[in-house]
Structure 1
Amino acid sequence: MKTIGVITNRDKDHDLKYTRMLIDCILEKSELVRVASDAGKELGLEASENDDDVIFNQSDIIICLGGDGTFLKVARRAYLKGIPILGINLGSLGFLTEVEKCEIHNAADLIMDGKYDIEDRMMLEATIWDGDKMIARDFALNDIVISRGALSRILHLRTYINDDFVDSFPGDGLIVSSPTGSTAYSLSVGGPIVEPDIDLIIVSPICPHILYSRSFITAGSRVVKVVVEENYGHDAMVTVDGQMGYEIRGGFRIEVRKAEHSVKLAKITSRNFFNILRTKIYDRGESLRKNEVQQTR
């Protein structure tokens, strides 16, 4: 008997309509379910005194309901436990999530019957250093973003692959991305689209102040080192998957490498990466264009 953890973004499922739908499907097959205490009480579940630690420690698989932000938040914790995760899209894009709202019943049946595959996705590990002192260590599925603070001052970032100097990038910052993150922030600054199962790291400058700056790709076995110019007198920031932020200043060093372990994604459909890319990215662009046309009429 599986224990299925359910994590819901209450901003996306205000009345727990979709959460209730999912849990009812799980309970119909007499599977165990773990859900956060507030949602559990509202749904009338017994013995629902659970926090996130209980859910991650006692579940065989995690199903999260929300958008890509919810999925990233869950992935960052599930990675540490080696627990497979499945995302149900309640957001607008949902590029990382596997299931749409209308597919909840079928998805629940497949998960409980064990009819799913596991796809390993590369994670990034970031460490932030002030000299020899480690300030922070964190993990990302999508990207590590080094960016300027509130003041619009050019940020100079010396960049190395292992210990080999690549270049100094003046501009708004730098994105160090995994293959999974190639369709996130990296894409918006002109970075390449990469199949998510390839072992590499992408480095993309943000609004570079030199004409020849372009994204570059290095092997997953390398370490990307970024040093903030020592005389930079303003605040800057390291953002991890858009979930955590760390303030940095001149002289700080950020090292990004492939994490020791991968995150496990539960896959229940035969849709390949390029199919998802067309339907999610292209269709979203077409929808936005249609809305713009309608608003101008």
Structure 2
Amino acid sequence: MLKIGIIPNEDKDEGLKYTRILMDSIRKWGGTALVCDDVASKTGDKELNINEDKMVDMSDVMVCLGGDGTFLKAARTIVAKRKPLLGVNLGKLGFLADVDKNDIEKAAKHLVEGEFTIDERMMLDTAIVRDGKVVAEDIVLNDVVISRGAISRILHLKTYINDAFMDLYPGDGLIISTPTGSTAYSLSAGGPLVEPDVDLIISTPICPHLLYSRSFITTADRVIKVVVAESSHHEAMVTVDGQNGYEVRGGDIIITKKSQVRMPMVRFNEKNFFDVLRGKIYDRGESMK
């Protein structure tokens, strides 16, 4: 019997309405629905004396309910445990959490009956080096964003690929993204759309003060090194997947490379990447009129 762990975003799932639907649907089709005790007490479910970490350990597959931010938070929590993750979209866009809230019962049936595939997504490791020492490390599914801080001044970022100087980007910052993250902030900044099952690293400048500046795509075996110019006396920020933020200053080095860890994501065969693009981006303007 497939054990399915559930991580809801209670801010988006008011009263845990859709969490209850998911739990009932999993049990209807013969699976086991698992939630941590905090959620169980609110849904009236039997408490098993487990926290979220233990619930993940007990599960074969994980489902999160919310938006893409919820998916990223859940993915970063469970990636080390190698549990496949499916997202139910309770937000507006939802590239990662791509199951519609109205399709929960159908998705539960597919899960319990094994009618799904596992899509292994490339991730990145990023580290911040200051005075020769690593002061922060993180793992990335979508993107690493290096941006100016609270003071609105141009940020100068010296960018290298495998220690070969690529360019000096003056502007609001730089986005280093995976193919999965190509549909997120990088796209809004003018970056390319990349199929998520390839291994590439995308560097996209944010509002560059250069006429010729464009995104740069390189193979996943390269190492991207970004140096905050020594003349930058104001602080900047490194934001990872929109979840964690780190302050950086002049002379700090941000090193990003392909991770040895990959994120297993549950995918149903009904939609391919291009179907999702048409539904989420190209047709979005019409649906919002």
Structures share fold, TM-score greater than 0.5: yes
Say which SS state the counterpart of residue 92 (structure 2) adopts. Answer: coil
Deviation at 1:99?
A: 1.1
Instruction: Give the Cα separation in 2 of the matches to 1:249 and 1:3.
Output: 46
**CA–CA distance in 2 between the matches of 1:131 and 1:82?**
34
Amino acid at match of 1:18: Y
Q: SS state of the match for residue 122, structure 1?
A: strand
Q: 1:227-248: CA deviations, max 9, x gaps?
A: 0011211111000010110111
Whole-angstrom distance in 1 between the partners of 2:117 and 2:174: 34
Task: Look up the match of 1:135.
Answer: 135
For residue 32 of structure 1, report the CA deviation from its aligned partner: 3.0
Deviations 1:243-297 (A, max 9, x none): 1101111111001111102101111232110110011112222234x2xxxxxxx
Asked if the contact 2:29/2:108 (under 8 Å) is kept, the reply is: no
Task: Tell me, yes or no, if the aligned pair for 2:30 and 2:112 is still in contact at 8 Å.
Answer: no
Q: Map 1:208-227 onto structure 2 (within 5 A).
A: 208-227=208-227
Alpha-carbon displacement from aligned partner over 1:155-181 (angstroms, at most 9, x marks no partner): 100000011000110100000010011
CA distance in 2, matches of 1:114, 1:122: 23
Structure 2 counterpart of 1:66:
66
RMSD: 1.3
Aligned to 2:89: 89
Find the counterpart in structure 2 of residue 36 from structure 1.
Answer: 36
Which whole-Å CA distance do the structure 1 matches of 2:190 and 2:267 have between them? 29
Counterpart CA distance in 2 for 1:154 and 1:49 is: 52
Q: Where does 1:92-103 land on structure 2 (aligned, <5 Å)?
A: 92-103=92-103
Instruction: Say if 2:52 is the partner of 1:56.
Output: no
The one-letter code sitting in structure 2 at the alignment partner of 1:212 is Y
The alpha carbon displacement at 1:30 in A equals: 4.9
In the TM superposition, structure 1's runs of 4+ consecutive aligned residues that sit over 6 Å from their partners are none
Residue 25 of structure 1 corresponds to: 25
Using the alignment, how far apart are the partners of 1:250 and 1:56 within structure 2? Answer: 40
| 1:203 maps to 2:203 | yes
Q: Is this contact kept in 2: 1:78–1:263, CA < 8 A?
A: no
Give the structure 2 partner of residue 241 of structure 1.
241
> What does 1:246-257 align with in structure 2 at a 5 Å threshold?
246-257=246-257
Alpha-carbon offset, residue 29 of structure 1 = 4.4
Any idea what the Cα deviations from partners look like across 1:40-76, whole Å, max 9, x if unmatched? Answer: 1111112243322112222111001111110111111
Q: Distance in 2 between matches of 1:116 and 1:55?
A: 22
Of residues 153-162 and 20-29 in structure 1, the stretch that sits farther from structure 2 once superposed is 20-29
Structure 1 gap segments, 5+ residues each: 291-297
Contact 1:146 1:236 in 2 (8 A): yes
**Mapped contact 2:146–2:175 kept (Cα < 8 A):** yes
1:116 aligns to 2:130 (yes or no): no
Worse-matched range after superposition: 31-40 or 56-65: 31-40
2:16 counterpart of 1:12 = no
Could you tell me how far apart the structure 1 residues matched to 2:29 and 2:189 are? 46
* Structure 1 length-normalised TM: 0.94
